[in-house]
Structure 1
Amino acid sequence: MRIDIITCLPKLLESPFSHSILKRAQDKGLVEVHVHDLRQYSTNKHRTVDDYAYGGGAGMVLMIEPVSACIDALKQERDYDEIIYMSPDGQLFTQNVANELSIKTNLMILCGHYKGVDERVREHYITREISIGDYVLSGGELAAAVVSDAVIRLLPGVISDETSALTDSFQDGLVAPPVYTRPAEFKGWKVPDVLLSGNEKKIEEWRFQEAVARTKERRPNLLNDSAENS
């Protein structure tokens, strides 16, 4: 997989891709992540990428010219499965969306900033708009990192134990059950006996029951969604 991220603040994306699982995935050659500085595609000597909105109002808008130049340059090099715009009014990002994107080959992500991007970019270039939640960030960079992390960790070979990703919260419509590790007792707080029993069938039954109970308590909407889709 290759992910190209377009931003006017590339330094914001240095840290997320330089550590832990995302760094190891790149080191293994399982994914390429390229961050493109939108200012490199500016059409004036001041490297301006934003301007006032037509019709007035507060806030600046990313101009169509540098965005178009960057996207066109990248599209000349390869075909993209999706050109994604990170936007508060986009499709809500879920585990199912991450699963869908994880089987793609080439993804491009445009990070909005200020008051957003010239609408003509969205009309003529963007194939998908994604939001990570009903709130507004200063820009799309952190949201792009969130999407990339959720997608990359699903790629074969990224996580050494691939069943770990398959048992994450939301993969089966439930949140994850409680987990414990050594010691078996701490300050009188004990690990449930079933987890120490070695009986795999009973352990799986316990985990499922706990996942259902925790989902009912904390995210009942997930159970309602599953019922509606069944």
Structure 2
Amino acid sequence: MSQIEQKFREFLSKKPEVETCYQEGLINRRSLARYLVKQRISQSNQLEATIAMLRRFPFQKLLPPSQDLFKQIKINIKDHITILNFEKEKELVQKLQLLITHTNYDRGDTLKIVVGSSSVKVFLDEENEKKVKDSLEKFKLKNKYSHISEISVGFPEEAREERGILSTITKELTVNGIVISELLTASPELLIYLKEEYVLKAYDILKRLQK
């Protein structure tokens, strides 16, 4: 893999909309190469080498998922979510297990726990943060995200076998300038967490995908 291609792959991971525009024919190869030179992905004397790289580059031609699946999605929104990001500790995980038993999910309370390799994230209602503060204050809090909205996107069961659903949604949100704070999957349900300022725009985008 050439250095230009490596930089281009990193560039696409940050700007997936460029790949979409190229695949749909909105920009041609030479125009994209000039843009990459302008973005310093390659040098000004490497225009032809950049064009050659684009000619060889294995752009993924993913077939769009069945539109019928998007027509069947159910969208629910919940505001006032807080995300707490703790440094991972065994005692913390044990404490959180006790909190689950005191969470009234039937009433609609939110408490989701994600245990990663180095951190533990807790998703909960802002109004319940004070209730768990005493139990968790001894543990190292790395980050806290407030004023978060949760968008639940429920798909029919057959969506489990369909390719491209997640990438379609995330690409549409990204192209439209929406920053996804967190993303959780409980197939066939997708949970999208973003700042409350983005929620109405994100909802409109998801509704458009239903049509």
The TM-score normalised by the length of structure 1 is 0.19
Which of 1 and 2 has higher RCO (CA within 8 Å, sep 6+)? 2
Bigger strand share: 2
Say which structure is richer in helix. Answer: 2
TM-score, length of structure 2 as denominator length: 0.20
